[in-house]
Structure 1
């Protein structure tokens, strides 16, 4: 990751002797592999379902290549020291998701893949705009409270009687003519910015220990306001919008960032207690939460004749993944369209059926790489805000993937979140592209060479000497 350029002079800063490589050539090579995955999967879908390569593969492959290459060129110009792995991983996941959505289109006669490609284009454009406009992530500290207020407004928009729309039991969408948008996807990015800015300013106070209980220093009572406020916001999302996934995501995100900034395990104890208390209360008071838990505990009791088929989606997803086995049925060899909304909430179950356990593990490793590179950027970042921002953005992916795949596989109750870069959905895709741009900006600033302050000091000393001689 680092290259030794030259031995620093005696008395000089030794850090200046080590400079991170730009690694843009490695990024380009990985992008070629990512494009091979996306375009190859698209061709495999056509061969598996229709027995021939799709007629539009040249146009599709050319458009996908143009987007990825344009993003690479922008990174090479405005963020030359950025992490070389993030963009190829995202390109591979996005291409694989487009191919599977096209596979669903061929069976159902829909045109979701084309719409998803349009959303990917918008996401890639915003990715490039973010990198060009935002040259230093520390500028975002000026908008700490503005970002927090904007996030709250966005979360409240679906509750408006005219704008808000309820889809599949959750009121998390707003409709503007023929278009629908999920404001919570933008709110999660704004909340990370707000949390990072707030915790940088107040972490010293929040890190102070209160009463000690069973070898754990609990926080002081006067410092519980922020976590209680976020807990109430999460409960409000669960109660009024019936969105269990976003509720878990937002509260878990704040708890992770709070623990990282203060390094106090007591916050995890308090947060865990609040989470358990809120979950138990929601299970007792709200019918949709009771239904999710009951289906999770025994999905087959809600499947088939004589039931209301509430567990149909869960059971069909489990059947599909079981039929896929270790290596999968191959594109076109399975029947993933038996699973309701397989192109969105349950896309990982459809991919498990056709790519098998091996394919699912490969996808999980790609998500693991995103989280690992985000945390790596956080570790090497030179400012506290950058460390918390990268940690929060990486935690968004980690929590969202855990909640989604945990729900599909039956590990936890089903929540309804989208799988990043794979699932059909424009607002989620665009927001996640912007998240990757922010991570690349943080890593670029962290990996760029340290200014040679020693040389500047020597120049100043020479000028002073000349002035004295005059």
Structure 2
């Protein structure tokens, strides 16, 4: 056990050392010294990570220990790059990001201690649905929601200049509801109907839930002008629906439904069509110089990735600040410019470790609700990573989603830290050893022997 704990803490310490070296090298090349405020903030965040590890060992002793070190390293790389862009633009987003990380770690620690049994979340399934929908639709409330860059997905905190993206928290509450609902109705949804092209379609009367979620997703796309959030929620529901029933027809129906809605929206609504045009013709002069909805950001991100080459320009030696929203939407391109192809492949590998740990947890756990919740949460993260990287590299149109743990923004950072903490809690239940089979057989044998002795006494044999 001691050797296992030493290996676990060594992963965390290794991630801490790499993060510190990255910050040190970047600051030495840009400012010529390590700023005091960053040194103090990094020390606090490091201490909180060590406290979180100790709490996990104490209250979730069988939890996966590979998730949080990867989260730490991704967060460190992202915050380091944000601080590097701050130096070029004379902003202070990176320091605020460290403060958000400290707050997220405190919340994670509270969850690790308080949430001993994740199954309690199933009791509040419909409450989670209501809270999730309120959060999702809150930017549409007049006077509360604000429009930034054509998307109405933020709300302003009263009496401050800060904003919150409630959809990041809505995905957690809706994941709780989806897992509970699909667990309770999996038998009805798994019943097949007629076959078409070798695929057994579901019954017509079972299409209600997916039609409702599709309608909500299209509403978000049309009213809030947010393709990414709309696609994320619908994809999460379809993925969890497939896990609960095992029927590929749900995936086919989901893909066709959203593709049809997106194509219709791109032809009807200009903001959706502009993103598709920028994706199809990014190097067109007209689109490149277009003030709103053009391809300037896409092309500059591609140039940044190309200039990074295999090993990158070096920390502090590139020009990632040229690309608009380089510290949020395009943080992946910024990392690719200064760390190169090797750096962004390492970043993807870290995400892959987290995602693999989540899916392994979903496969190992026997509780159906936990299986659906773990798979839904980890799929959401995987989907976000795919859409962001795909949009930056022109595989798919830009969606407006952010890279988990790396992009600037307190809402996204805290929500994804909570997601990681939930995966840790569920993995503890999945890895917990079962009672010894030999012991249970001994108890069973003793009970049968006692029962036989009692029967013999009643017959007068003894």
Fold equivalence (TM over 0.5):
yes
Q: Residue in 1 aligned with 2:241?
A: 258
Q: Residue in 2 aligned with 1:280?
A: 263
* Number of residue-to-residue matches in the alignment: 451
Indicate which of 428, 432, 440 corresponds to 1:448.
432
Note closer, same or farther for the CA distance 1:141–1:21 as it changes in structure 2 (3 Å cut): farther
TM-fit CA distance, 1:97: 1.2
Alignment partners' CA distance in 2, 1:141 and 1:117: 33
Note closer, same or farther for the CA distance 1:272–1:22 as it changes in structure 2 (3 Å cut): farther
Q: Residue in 2 aligned with 1:38?
A: 19
Alignment of 1:344-383 (within 5 A): 344-383=328-367
Question: Are 1:422 and 2:406 an aligned pair?
Answer: yes
TM-fit CA distance, 1:314: 0.8
Indicate which of 224, 231, 239 corresponds to 1:248.
231
Question: Are 1:224 and 2:200 an aligned pair?
Answer: no
* Helix, strand or coil at the partner of 2:185: helix
Structure 2: 5+ residue runs without aligned partners?
none
* Helix, strand or coil at the partner of 1:299: coil
* Helix, strand or coil at the partner of 1:410: coil
Question: Are 1:141 and 2:116 an aligned pair?
Answer: no
Q: Residue in 1 aligned with 2:95?
A: 114
Write out per-residue CA displacement over residues 22-75 of structure 1, whole angstroms, 9 at most, x where no aligned residue. Answer: 943322101111111211111111122123444556424422320210110110
* Helix, strand or coil at the partner of 2:200: strand
* Helix, strand or coil at the partner of 1:344: coil
Q: State TM-score, norm by structure 1.
A: 0.92
Alignment partners' CA distance in 1, 2:138 and 2:28: 44
Q: Residue in 1 aligned with 2:193?
A: 210
Indicate which of 335, 346, 360 corresponds to 2:319.
335
Alignment partners' CA distance in 2, 1:421 and 1:205: 38
Write out per-residue CA displacement over residues 55-99 of structure 1, whole angstroms, 9 at most, x where no aligned residue. Answer: 556424422320210110110110011001001000111111111
Contact (CA 8 Å) 1:203, 1:262: kept in 2 or not? yes
Q: Residue in 1 aligned with 2:157?
A: 176
Contact (CA 8 Å) 1:302, 1:308: kept in 2 or not? no
Which shifted more, 371-380 or 145-154?
A: 145-154
TM-fit CA distance, 1:433: 0.8
Contact (CA 8 Å) 2:38, 2:95: kept in 1 or not? no
Write out per-residue CA displacement over residues 423-465 of structure 1, whole angstroms, 9 at most, x where no aligned residue. Answer: 0100110011111111011110111121347636755875894
Q: Residue in 1 aligned with 2:32?
A: 51
Contact (CA 8 Å) 1:22, 1:82: kept in 2 or not? no
Contact (CA 8 Å) 1:314, 1:408: kept in 2 or not? yes
Contact (CA 8 Å) 1:158, 1:164: kept in 2 or not? yes
Contact (CA 8 Å) 1:418, 1:428: kept in 2 or not? yes
Note closer, same or farther for the CA distance 1:306–1:274 as it changes in structure 2 (3 Å cut): closer
Note closer, same or farther for the CA distance 1:306–1:292 as it changes in structure 2 (3 Å cut): closer
Contact (CA 8 Å) 1:169, 1:242: kept in 2 or not? yes
Misfit runs of 4+, over 6 Å: none
Q: State TM-score, norm by structure 2.
A: 0.93
Alignment partners' CA distance in 2, 1:245 and 1:56: 35
Alignment of 1:157-176 (within 5 A): 157-176=138-157
* Helix, strand or coil at the partner of 1:124: helix
Alignment partners' CA distance in 2, 1:114 and 1:364: 25
Alignment partners' CA distance in 1, 2:155 and 2:287: 34
Q: Residue in 2 aligned with 1:87?
A: 68
